[in-house]
Amino acid sequence: CSRDIAVLHCNKSTALYSLGKWREAMLSAYQSLRWDPEYVKAYYRAGQSLIMLSDSYEAISMFHKGLILLNASADRTQVADFIASIFISVNDEQVFPPTFPPAYDYIFSARFDALIWQMVIERLAQKGKWQSCLLLFSEKKELPANLRVNQLSLKNLFETSELYGNGEKMQEVVELVKWLISIGAKVETIGVYLLHAVIKLCIK
């Protein structure tokens, strides 16, 4: 009975989220968790609403708790959604909130498989969260050796000018591109514009 009520509140949260009512969606997700603290979907819905409310501190906390509950799950897609959401929560942050380091440590200590990491990186790229990809690049030695990202498009990366700047930051982007191509991203996904064609030639 408690789970049924939790599901109803979570469904309400999803509907409110779709209407752009982030605060109401968050409160409904919290209500869901009061009825069933182990209902994983409510942690995800709460976290997504908190991202929209620019509360990365609480968002990471929600995703971290949900991920711990999911750890033994065979649902790789759901696990990838939670991991990606933790990184998305801090993608635009200059200073990471205190809830991030414990979640970060947990993610890498859990030793998730290559398929999960593939989905995580492809989700981040699809949403244009390249700062998060740079963060993962800095930990590439901790990622599975058989990791491949065949469905990842590089086009958005080359159109995201705020990532670039100059000097050290630009070099990081260069190294990120080289790494992504080395694990399966296709050069052809950069695009067909003239500048892109030159870049493709340089990469080849």
pLDDT in tens, 152-170: 988 888 776 555 555 566 7
**Pair 22, 43 in one domain:** yes
**Pair 139, 67 in one domain:** no
Among 3-7, 145-149, 176-180, 190-194, the range scoring the smallest mean pLDDT is 190-194
pLDDT tens per residue, range 26-74:
999 999 999 999 999 999 999 999 999 999 999 999 999 999 998 766 7
DSSP assignment letter at 8: H
**Pair 129, 66 in one domain:** no
pLDDT band at 89 (very low <50, low <70, confident <90, very high): very high
**Pair 106, 119 in one domain:** no
Q: Specify the pTM.
A: 0.89
Domain boundary pick from 112, 129, 161? 112
Domain that holds residue 169: 114-203
Q: How far apart are CA 72 and CA 110, in angstroms?
A: 10
DSSP assignment letter at 123: H
Number of folded domains that form the chain: 2
- Segments in 19-99 forming alpha helices (H): 22-35, 40-52, 56-70, 76-90
CATH code for position 57? 1.25.40.10
